[in-house]
Amino acid sequence: MTPDTALVPPGTPAPDRRAVVRTSPLAPGSAADPLWYKDAVVYQLHVRTFADGNGDGIGDFAGLIARLGYIRRLGANAIWLLPFYESPLKDDGYDIAHYERIDPRYGTMDDFKRFLAEAHRLGLQVFTELIINHTSTAHPWFQASRRAPVGSPKRNYYVWSDSDRRYLGARVIFNDIEPSNWTWDPVAKAYYWHRFFHHQPDLNFDNPRVRRAVFKVMRFWLDLGVDGLRLDAIAHLYEREGTSCENLPETHEFLRAIRTEMDRRYAHRVLLAEVDQPPPIARTYFGAGAGDECHMAFQFPLMPRLFLALKREDAGPIVSIVKETDHLPESAQWAIFLRNHDELTISALTPEDRQLMFDLYAPEPRMRLNLGIRRRMAPLLDNDPSRMALAFSLLLSLPGSPVIYYGDEIGMGDNIWLNDRDGVRTPMQWTGTAGAGFSESDQPLTLPVIDDLIYGASTVNVEQQESDPSSMLWRVRRMVAARARSQAFGRGTIDFLTVTCGSVLACLRCYRDDTLLIIANLASTPQRCELMLPAEIADRTAHSLFNDDAVASAALAALSLAPFEFRWYRLVRPMAAPSSTSPASVQNSI
Ligand code: NOJ
């Protein structure tokens, strides 16, 4: 099977990517640099819970447009929108009923176009979701399929079977809720295959019509001008007996076809893979050495280890996984994140580390979901501003493009008593008023605003933090601004330095002539340690990226760090260095 041959006439030469990039018109607002995504700081949000523009209690594009300035002021230069397509919303929009329509609860297609134009005008690139592994059972394709004659192309849009004993090697992902990957359909009188909820039947990628239909959906959104596509659940496209039905060669072949099609028609667009797999497998989604599949992939291997490291006060788990996931193809980039809209997944950890994560971060059974933890960043880090700032420092300084989950920048809380993962998807807290400034509706909102004493909107909100320069919002803004001063964060190499304390992480990030020194104390206690600085940087001056302080690099060989302290320095060669000040003046007060 060659998916691309279904779309490109036989004999068509493979397009020269560089030539295409030169000649293709850029969509309005498109970034001029083909590697723009390497410098991206992405803000992830759900239209449904971000801002309600029409007062009906549900977030919408009108509300989002009015809040774009906030995202820009945070320093983000890209947005990732969770699904906003027509949907019964049984999986918060990951159950699509129509691929080319906006769910009317969020507005119209014109509203979406206005949003896109305004985002681009402000310098925000836009990622949307391409959810092709499955649809909703409400999708007309499924409704037609269940009624179509066995063996017909329409029937074969989905994966049907007379038996629920096929593909037993595939794990059940939502194992708290679904007993099997097969569900009986009384209309079709057969079982259909689904890797997620039973109302999300998997499309059958062995059917060339499905592949063509998926290409058409992709072109529809790229033609509108979206800059990046997050490929949901992309590891699961194909099924083969005797395998785990994940990461199959056919899936990679299809991804290469998608990439070829994208590059053939569009300039500077990006594919972002959602693959929660161990490092050697995760990196295959960039393409086997050639960078010919996805430009970006989520850094799932690192994420739970960041939390392990923070709780254990030990840099080890971060250092080892970053080393294991380093040296990507030139065009590839990790999308690094702390939390997102799902449970904090720990499926990639060893059984011992999983248990440790549950014990440390999810002591109450209700905090757990499937193989994960349904909590937000602030409650996970005990609402401790120093720990949270440290977590943001790691997010913003380790290799990759950081993705900030809406609300984490103000330390929003969660509500573990809501259904499924809704507890981490509650309305954005803009003000301390009843609807949190999210909505003026006096009807129940799409999800209830957090209202407990610690994390409730009257305590945690944007308005209050705007006026407090020491707030989490301002600290994150200052870090993002500091990050924007060097491309080494997004594009640089990383080299860990030897430190005498296990709780201190120190590394050099280098890009072209620019060298940064990043130091972080993961411990809740002060640390005195020694740092082995390479000889070639010993004569440099370390300039803080957070303020005007400077110190001779050599002075950093003996370090005293406050609990959770972190420092970001640019190491400047002697020629360019202004007169250095004493070590005592270095204050990385962020
Ligand atoms: C991954 C998404 O992040 C999650 O929210 C969703 O439930 C599954 N894919 C199924 O689409």
Each residue of 465-523: pLDDT tens digit? 999 999 999 999 999 999 999 999 999 999 999 999 999 999 999 999 999 999 999 99
Question: Do 449 and 566 belong to one domain?
Answer: no
- What is the predicted pLDDT for the residue at 27? 59
Nearest partner of 42 among 536, 438, 494, 401, judged by Cα: 401
Band of the pLDDT at 589, cuts 50, 70, 90?
Answer: low
Question: Do 43 and 123 belong to one domain?
Answer: yes
Give the amino acid at 268.
H
Place of tokens 């609860």: 105
Q: Indicate whether 320 belongs to any domain.
A: yes
Structural domain boundaries enclosing 476: 5-11+32-135+208-483
Q: Whose CA is nearest to atom 5 of ligand 1?
A: 342
Question: Do 267 and 409 belong to one domain?
Answer: yes
Token pair for 427: 């309305």
pLDDT above 70 (res 146) = yes
46, 94, 131, 275, best to mutate for ligand 1 pocket (most atoms within 8 Å of CB): 94
- SS3 (DSSP) at 572: strand
Average pLDDT over residues 14-36: 55
Q: Indicate whether 583 belongs to any domain.
A: no
Nearest ligand 1 atom to alpha carbon 340: 3
Question: Do 79 and 149 belong to one domain?
Answer: no
- What is the predicted pLDDT for the residue at 526? 98
- What is the predicted pLDDT for the residue at 26? 60
Question: Do 390 and 535 belong to one domain?
Answer: no
Average pLDDT over residues 549-576: 93
Q: Tell me the pLDDT tens digit for each residue of 431-461.
A: 999 999 999 999 999 999 999 999 999 999 9
pLDDT above 50 (res 104) = yes
Place of tokens 């880090």: 381
pLDDT above 50 (res 281) = yes
C-beta atoms surrounding 187 within 10 Å: 10
Q: What is the CATH number of the domain that holds 160?
A: 3.90.400.10
Instruction: Give backbone dihedrals phi and psi of 401, rounded to 5 degrees, phi first.
Output: -100, 120
How long is the chain?
590
Percent of the chain with pLDDT over 90: 89
* Helix residue spans in 24-165 (DSSP H): 47-50, 61-74, 109-121, 140-147
CA distances from 169 to 181, 240, 243 (A): 11, 9, 6
What is the per-residue DSSP string for 256-278? Answer: HHHHHHHHHH-SS-EEEE-----
pLDDT above 90 (res 17) = no
232 C-alpha to ligand 1 centroid (Å): 7
Q: Indicate whether 202 belongs to any domain.
A: no
Burial 198-237 (b: 16+ CB within 10 A, else e): bbbbbbbbebbebbebbbebbeebbeebbbbbbbbbbbbb
Question: Do 187 and 281 belong to one domain?
Answer: no
Nearest ligand 1 atom to alpha carbon 421: 5
pLDDT above 50 (res 362) = yes
Choosing from 483, 515, 530, the residue where a domain stops is: 483
Question: Do 474 and 497 belong to one domain?
Answer: no
- What is the predicted pLDDT for the residue at 375? 98
Number of domains forming the structure of the chain: 3
More confident residue, 132 or 350: 132
Q: Whole-angstrom Cα distance, residue 68 to residue 88?
A: 27
Question: Do 217 and 330 belong to one domain?
Answer: yes
275 C-alpha to ligand 1 centroid (Å): 11
Q: Indicate whether 431 belongs to any domain.
A: yes
Average pLDDT over residues 267-276: 97
Instruction: Specify whether 111 is catalytic.
Output: no
Q: Indicate whether 23 belongs to any domain.
A: no
Q: Whole-angstrom Cα distance, residue 1 to residue 252?
A: 12
Across the chain, which distance is largest between two alpha carbons, in Å? Answer: 81
More confident residue, 370 or 400: 400
232, 347, 421, 425, best to mutate for ligand 1 pocket (most atoms within 8 Å of CB): 232
Nearest partner of 304 among 337, 280, 351, 352, judged by Cα: 337
Question: Do 304 and 325 belong to one domain?
Answer: yes
80 lines ligand 1 (CB under 6 A): no
81, 196, 276, 369, best to mutate for ligand 1 pocket (most atoms within 8 Å of CB): 196
Question: Do 370 and 393 belong to one domain?
Answer: yes
Nearest ligand 1 atom to alpha carbon 341: 5
Question: Do 291 and 231 belong to one domain?
Answer: yes
Q: How far is CA 32 from the centre of its chain?
A: 23
CB 533, CB 556: distance < 8 Å: yes
Q: Whole-angstrom Cα distance, residue 306 to residue 545?
A: 23
- SS3 (DSSP) at 483: helix
Q: Whole-angstrom Cα distance, residue 241 to residue 164?
A: 13
Strands 344-345, 372-373: pairing kind: antiparallel
Average pLDDT over residues 118-132: 98
94 lines ligand 1 (CB under 6 A): yes
131 C-alpha to ligand 1 centroid (Å): 9
Token pair for 340: 């997102």
CB 96, CB 89: distance < 8 Å: no
Nearest ligand 1 atom to alpha carbon 133: 11
pLDDT above 50 (res 32) = yes
Q: Indicate whether 181 belongs to any domain.
A: yes
Token pair for 265: 């028609």
Choosing from 438, 460, 483, the residue where a domain stops is: 483
Q: Tell me the pLDDT tens digit for each residue of 41-96.
A: 999 999 999 999 999 999 999 999 999 999 999 999 999 999 999 999 999 999 99
Average pLDDT over residues 402-409: 98
CB 269, CB 262: distance < 8 Å: yes
Token pair for 240: 């083969």
Residues 6+ apart with CB under 8 A from 524: 313, 563, 564
232 lines ligand 1 (CB under 6 A): yes
DSSP label at residue 566: E
CB 50, CB 35: distance < 8 Å: no
Band of the pLDDT at 1, cuts 50, 70, 90?
Answer: very low
Q: Whole-angstrom Cα distance, residue 294 to residue 308?
A: 28
Choosing from 462, 483, 504, the residue where a domain stops is: 483
- What is the predicted pLDDT for the residue at 288? 79
Q: Indicate whether 160 belongs to any domain.
A: yes
Q: Whole-angstrom Cα distance, residue 403 to residue 379?
A: 19
Compute the CA torsion angle 276, 280, 285, 287 (nearest 10 deg): 180
Residues 6+ apart with CB under 8 A from 240: 167, 248, 250
- What is the predicted pLDDT for the residue at 291? 86
Place of tokens 């030539």: 19
457 C-alpha to ligand 1 centroid (Å): 27
- Mean pLDDT over all residues of the chain? 92
Token pair for 586: 């270095």
Give the count of alpha carbons within 13 A of 181, CB side only.
21
Instruction: Specify whether 274 is catalytic.
Output: yes
- SS3 (DSSP) at 203: strand
pLDDT above 90 (res 38) = yes
Q: Indicate whether 284 belongs to any domain.
A: yes
Rounded to 5°, the CA angle 240-173-423 comes to: 155
Question: Do 188 and 216 belong to one domain?
Answer: no
DSSP label at residue 386: H
Average pLDDT over residues 17-42: 67
Q: What is the CATH number of the domain that holds 512?
A: 2.60.40.1180
Band of the pLDDT at 40, cuts 50, 70, 90?
Answer: very high
174 lines ligand 1 (CB under 6 A): no
CB 139, CB 178: distance < 8 Å: no
Q: Is the dihedral of CA 252, 254, 255, 259 positive or negative?
A: positive
- What is the predicted pLDDT for the residue at 348? 78
Q: Which of 4, 60, 185, 274 is catalytic?
A: 274
Q: What is the CATH number of the domain that holds 264?
A: 3.20.20.80
The pTM of this model reads 0.93
